[in-house]
Structure 1
């Protein structure tokens, strides 16, 4: 098993999850903002998701990383590559806590983890499952270069699937 990576950008550190990340995660998952992820969730369901986000690293070589602002040290959200029995393919997902939206953090974190998945893990393709009403995430998937793939298998029939194809070498 390889260690959980820590990745950095000029503004962000993508780091392994810690127990002290749980309160903000729980609050988001219990809120109406979790509607695009199948929520709001009970504490028990959110705890299961939190633990799964972490456990996937040992079990599958991928999982979630928390997004931390280097300047303030604040945990501002999460980015992850999900796999396993609930996901037909490796899935790139993200969320940013409400008070940190609109600053490009989700894109910066997702681009960084996508590069890691391609360059280090050598994943040939990833998808992002997006609720059709979540226009902000759909827009981000497109800005990341993903293409809508209507024929892809999906965990929920209403999900849109955005495919992140491998980079084409010139």
Structure 2
């Protein structure tokens, strides 16, 4: 399912996006606060490939982001998947190329995915587990209406229930 915002196209991520995802992850600052196999190129590519091929369930997965002004240029991705690909919580997340930071793209795409998750998939809630040092992602979580629920080690858990989402639309 292709999703659209005022400035972005969000389309399901495919193997055609592997090189763009890998190149983005290798840019300074992109994976600083994210656990993963980033140090070994083969493991890193395998991780991305596995995530692309995985079936997360109806209406869930990764969406690659493209600005409408440059529809062939990958700028990042958003996700709506079982937390850490295992669950049971459903996680919302985002990752963008550094040249796309600070333009509101992550917030715009995440809001669209939030609406998709609650309106179309009928999720009871979503979480975002963010390293406490990642000020940019924390700001996105707050801007889309998620509420800080807990902190464990270096991670801060932001969450939103379907009821909270519905109330935020009314107010």
TM-score normalized with structure 2 length:
0.83
Name 2:97's counterpart in structure 1: 97
Measured after TM superposition, the shift of residue 35 of structure 1 is: 1.6
Structure 2: which 5+ residue stretches go unaligned? Answer: none
Instruction: Give the alignment of 1:106-125 within 5 angstroms.
Output: 106-125=106-125
Contact 2:130–2:155 (8 Å) recurs in 1:
yes
User: After superposition, where does 1:57-76 map in structure 2 within 5 Å?
Assistant: 58-61=55-58, 62-73=60-71, 74-76=73-75
- Give the Cα separation in 2 of the matches to 1:122 and 1:80: 16
Whole-angstrom CA distance in 2 between matches of 1:44 and 1:87:
26
String of CA shifts for 1:86-123, please: whole Å, max 9, x gaps.
Answer: 44411000011011111111111000011000000000
State the distance in 1 between where 2:9 and 2:28 align. 27
Q: Give the 5 Å matches for 1:19-168.
A: 19-33=15-29, 34-39=31-36, 41=38, 42-56=40-54, 58-61=55-58, 62-73=60-71, 74-83=73-82, 86-150=86-150, 157-166=153-162, 167-168=165-166
CA RMSD in angstroms comes to 2.1
Contact 1:32 1:39 in 2 (8 A): no
What is aligned with 1:6?
A: 2
How many residue pairs end up in the alignment?
161
Q: Quick check: which one's strand share is greater?
A: 2
The unaligned stretches of length 5 or more in structure 1 are: none
Distance 1:43 1:67, change over 3 A: same
Indicate conservation of the 8 Å contact 1:148/1:161, yes or no. Answer: yes
SS of 2:150 mapped into structure 1: coil
Could you tell me whether the CA contact under 8 Å between 1:66 and 1:77 is conserved in 2?
yes
Greater displacement, 25-34 / 67-76 = 25-34
State the Cα deviation string for residues 22-74 of structure 1 (Å, max 9, x = none). 22211232344212112560223322332343234x34231100001111111
